[in-house]
Amino acid sequence: MNTPNDEQFFAALPRSKDAEPRSEFVEALEAKLVQRARTKMNRPKRIVLKLATWTVSAATVAAVWMMGVTPELFTQSRFESQAQLVPRSFLSTEIKEGELSQAAIRTLEKLYEKYPPFREAEKSVYVTKAPREVYNIDFRTFSNKERTEVSLYARAKLDAKSGALLGFDAEKIPGQEKIEGAPSKERTEQQAKAFMESFLGKNVEQYRFEQLDTQEGADAVSHDAVQLQRYVNDVQVEGDSYVIGMNDVGQIGYINSGDTTGMNLNIGQFQAIDELPSPKKAESGLAEVMQLTYQRVGKKDVDYVLRYEENFSGYLDAQTGKEVKTTLWGGESFSDSIAVMPGGKKAMATSAKEAAAAMEFFGQKVEGYPFTGSNVPAYMMGDNEREYVAKKGQRIMQLTTVDSRATAFKISYPELREGETTLTVAELQERAILFLEPYLDSRVKSVRMQEQIYVMGRQVELNFVREVNGVLVRDQYYKVTLDGQTGEIIGARLTFPHEHETFPDASKVISAEEAAQVYLQHKPLSPRYLFPLENNKIQEQPILVYSAEVLKSNGEIDAISGKWLPF
C-alpha cells in the first residue's frame, strides 16, 4: 500500500481487503498507541482502537456458572438495549471475475487501455458489502513455472454499482517509461487530472486541487502526491476526494479515495445552496451532543478534571439540527447507567507457568497449552506490559499482564470468523456484565456500555466505561468479546482504578447549552454536503449539513470555568 504519509496510510488501511493484522500484533499495537496517546496528550479520551476483534475459548461459561450464575438467569435479560451491531467493513468474500457488474467491467476496460498487460494477468476479485459494495481486484503475472517470481502486481478498487474507480496501486508494472526530473506541483497535477479524466469524464471538473497535509515536522512540501477534493455549488462534499501519488519513475503510482467518493455525481440531486437554512437550529442541536466526562491529569497522584467535549460525527442536519451519522466517525453513544456488583478479584503472573494459572483464573482450560513469552518486540508493548502465548493446533491462547497483573486474555481460532450472531444485544450484554463483575475493582459501582457494537463473523465486541457521579471516566474501560451464537466469553480486556484518585463535584458544572455556545465561539459551523450512513449503508442521496470541523481541529471546554481548551 503506497501512501504519502501516515495520515493517508491509516485512512486507506480500513478499506484494504487484506488490512486485518495478525492477532498477536493487534493487542501490542493497541497498547503502544494508547501509551503514546497518553504520553503525548496527557489525556486519555477516545482511546478505543477498533483494529480487530480478539477471541477466547468456551470454558468461560462453565466458569461463570461456578461463580453462582445459572443458565436460567440468561432466559430473560434485565437489559433493554438500544445498541446496534456494526459489521466490520473490511470483511470481504472472493468472487469470480465473471460475477463483476457491467459498470465495473467498463471501468476495467479503461484500465486495460492504460495498462494492456492487465488484461491477460491473473485476477483475484474480492467483494465487500458494507458500508458500500466495492470490488477489490488484484492483478498478477508470474514469470516462472514455480510461481515464485512476480513480474506484474497491481490492485484496483471499484464501486460495484457505478463502476467508479476508488483506488489503484501500481506496485509492480514492468516497462514503464521513466519521466526525468524532480516532480513539480504543476506536472503532478497535470498527470493526476489527465488520469482521472479518463474515468470521471467531465465530472472531473467537480474536483479541485487542494493542499495535501504533509507529515508533522516535514521540512519541505513534497510534490509527488496531490489531492482532489469535490465541490458542488462551491460547497465541499465531505468524504469525496482522491489522493493521487507518483511512483519512482514519475508515473501514477497509487490512488486513494474517501469513503463516499463517487457515490452520486449528479449535481442535480444536490440541494441548492440558496435553500440553506440558518445555522441557528444546528447550533441548538450541538448542545445535545456535548458530553460531560472526567479526564485524567497528573501521573503520580491521579486527579481528574471535568470537561465537555463534542461527542458526535461532527455533522448536524441543516434542516433539523440533529446529528447525522457518517463513515468518517460516528461518535460514541452510551447506554444508561448499569449498576454492577464488583468482586475485586485479581491474578498475577510473572512467568509462563503463572500465565497458565492466570488463564485458569479467567475460567479457561489450559491443559495441553505450553505457554511461552510472546515474540512481540518490547518497544511495541505498553509500560511494564508483557504477553504470554500458547498454541494448540489452530487455537492460539494469549494472556497480557501490566505490572504483572493479568489484564487481558483471548483465544483465536478460525471457526469464530464463520457464521453470524443469533443472540440479541440484551442477551450478550447480560452475559458480559455477569462475566465482568467478579473482576471489577470494588470502587467501580456503575458502568455504561458503548452502543456501537462491533461484529466480525460470530465475534461480538462490547465496550464498557466506568461511571462516577453519573459521568464517564474515559480512561477506565472494559472490553468483552463473545461468541454471538453460544454466548461464550471469548475475550476480555480490563483496566483498573488508580491507587489514589480524586473526582471534582459534577454538580458545579455549566450546562450543555452554555458549553455549546463556548464551542461555537471558537469553532463556528460551516455548510457541507454529506452522504449519510443509515443501517451501516452509505446513502446515495446527499444532504446539506453544518460541520463543526471536529475532524480537522477540535478542543474541549472546562466544565466548571467554561474556558475553551484547544488541543
Number of domains in the chain: 3
Place of cell 464551542: 519
First CA to last CA across the chain, in angstroms?
31
Residue where a domain stops, chosen among 494, 517, 546: 494
> Band of the pLDDT at 277, cuts 50, 70, 90?
confident
Do the Cβ atoms of 92 and 456 come closer than 8 Å?
A: no
528: Cβ contacts below 8 Å, ≥ 6 apart: 235, 236, 237, 238, 315, 544, 545, 546, 547
Q: Quick: pLDDT tens for 101-146.
A: 999 999 999 999 999 999 999 999 999 988 899 999 999 999 998 8
pLDDT at 11: 43
Within a domain: residue 147?
yes
pLDDT at 153: 95
Q: Quick: pLDDT tens for 454-467.
A: 888 888 999 999 99
Q: Are residues 129 and 252 in the same domain?
A: yes
Within a domain: residue 191?
yes
Which has the higher per-residue pLDDT, 299 or 176? 176
Do the Cβ atoms of 192 and 25 come closer than 8 Å?
A: no
Angle at 258 (CA atoms; ends 255, 259), nearest 5 degrees: 130
* Residue 167: CATH number of its domain: 3.30.310
Within a domain: residue 556?
yes
pLDDT at 81: 60
pLDDT at 301: 60
What residues pair up with 467 in beta bridges, in sequence order?
Answer: 446, 472
Q: Quick: pLDDT tens for 362-395.
A: 988 888 899 999 888 888 888 899 999 999 888 8
Rounded mean pLDDT, 489-500: 90
Rounded to whole angstroms, how far apart are CA atoms 114 and 111? 5
Q: Are residues 283 and 261 in the same domain?
A: no
Q: Are residues 289 and 435 in the same domain?
A: no
Question: How far, in Å, are 188, 223, 262 from residue 246 at the CA level?
Answer: 8, 9, 22
Within a domain: residue 54?
no
For β-strands 207-210 and 225-232, DSSP reports them as antiparallel
pLDDT at 213: 65
Do the Cβ atoms of 304 and 503 come closer than 8 Å?
A: yes
Q: In terms of residues, how long is the chain? A: 567
Q: Are residues 386 and 469 in the same domain?
A: yes
For β-strands 555-558 and 302-310, DSSP reports them as antiparallel
Residue where a domain stops, chosen among 443, 472, 494: 494
pLDDT at 297: 82
Do the Cβ atoms of 439 and 63 come closer than 8 Å?
A: no
Residue where a domain stops, chosen among 462, 494, 526: 494
Do the Cβ atoms of 215 and 6 come closer than 8 Å?
A: yes
With 0-12 / 13-18 / 19 or more C-beta atoms within 10 angstroms meaning exposed / middle / buried, residue 76 is exposed
Rounded mean pLDDT, 281-305: 83
> Band of the pLDDT at 64, cuts 50, 70, 90?
very low
What residues pair up with 195 in beta bridges, in sequence order?
Answer: none
Q: Are residues 256 and 309 in the same domain?
A: no
Q: Are residues 412 and 487 in the same domain?
A: yes
What residues pair up with 227 in beta bridges, in sequence order?
Answer: 210, 243
- Tell me what percent of the chain is helix, strand and coil, each rounded to the nearest 5: 25, 30, 40
Domain that holds residue 155: 92-213+222-269
Res 498 pLDDT > 90:
no
Q: Are residues 249 and 284 in the same domain?
A: no
Q: Are residues 195 and 284 in the same domain?
A: no
Q: What is this structure's pTM?
A: 0.74
Do the Cβ atoms of 290 and 256 come closer than 8 Å?
A: no
